[in-house]
Structure 1
Amino acid sequence: MPKHTLFVCKSCHRSSEELPENQPADGTILLDKLNTLCGGKLPSNELEIKPVECLWACSQGCVVSVSSQDKPTYLFVNLPPQESAIALLEFMQLYIKSRKGNVAWKQFPEILQSAIFAQIPPVEV
């Protein structure tokens, strides 16, 4: 079974203001929360949480992308870092269980319904 990847932008910040010194970016806060919660939620052989420096959606705040071979890629933006970690892991469970990776919008955890920015079709080989 191919691994499913949750890419988390470490440098994302939802506010247009500069980050105060010594304060982590929202993306880093979300990444830490996901890593803390993920241990018991999803098997590590099915999910990789991968930090990235930038997902090029800086004007969209805290950004993550969900991807897997032969499945669509999902892009979520403007995520509240503390509140969205559990919802992202719930979404990942649906995504992993779906043979083709299609998750109906109505099945998204509520906090992600307003955060979905794009569903990009898989590349057909």
Structure 2
Amino acid sequence: MGDRITVCATCREGAGRALADHLREKGVAVRLVECLNACSAPLALAVTGEGKATYLFTGVDPEAQAEEVVAFAALYRDAPRGEVADARPCGNLRFCLRGRIPA
């Protein structure tokens, strides 16, 4: 399994599906799931990779932050063990980070 972003399909009345489509168009591997159990702060997404840290983001604005998610995917791809040391290139997405689970 390579790097992948898991997006909640039901958050924000289906906006997760639109975000997933946008990410796919940018070459990002995406998996849609019905719920990431972060309903109090939609939209939720997780960034994972084999042997890498996992990141959970909530409160993501799928329209305003779609390119920030793409930027994070690129940083994550290039980060050893998935540990992104400086997320400033991702704009405000870094403030949506709720947790990082080490590899």
- Same fold judged by TM-score > 0.5? yes
Give the conservation status (yes or no) of the 8 Å contact 1:33–1:82.
no
Q: Distance in 2 between matches of 1:55 and 1:107?
A: 25
- With structure 2 as the length reference, what TM-score do the two structures score? 0.88
- With structure 1 as the length reference, what TM-score do the two structures score? 0.74
Which has a greater percent of helix? 2
**Alpha-carbon distance, 1:49 to partner:** 0.9
Match of 1:66 among 47, 71, 93: 47
Q: Kindly report structure 1 stretches of 4+ aligned residues shifted beyond 4 Å.
A: none
Over residues 47-91 of structure 1, what are the superposed CA-to-partner deviations in whole Å (9 max), with x where a residue is unaligned? Answer: 521111111111111000000111110001101111211111111
Structure 1 segments unaligned to the other structure (5+ residues): 14-23, 40-46
Amino acid of the structure 2 residue aligned with 1:34: L
Aligned length: 103
Matched, 1:12 2:16: no
Amino acid of the structure 1 residue aligned with 2:98: F
Amino acid of the structure 1 residue aligned with 2:22: K
Amino acid of the structure 1 residue aligned with 2:5: L
Amino acid of the structure 1 residue aligned with 2:2: K
**Coordinate RMSD, CA, aligned:** 1.6
Aligned partner of residue 66 in structure 1, secondary structure: strand
Equivalent position of 2:15 in the other structure = 26
Over residues 12-54 of structure 1, what are the superposed CA-to-partner deviations in whole Å (9 max), with x where a residue is unaligned? Answer: 12xxxxxxxxxx5221222222223x14xxxxxxx52111111
Structure 2 segments unaligned to the other structure (5+ residues): none
In the TM superposition, 1:34-73 aligns within 5 A as 34-36=23-25, 38-39=26-27, 47-73=28-54
Report sequence identity in percent. Answer: 31
Q: Distance in 2 between matches of 1:106 and 1:96?
A: 13
Matched, 1:102 2:45: no
Amino acid of the structure 2 residue aligned with 1:59: S
Change (3 A) 1:55 1:99: same
Q: Distance in 1 between matches of 2:67 and 2:91?
A: 11
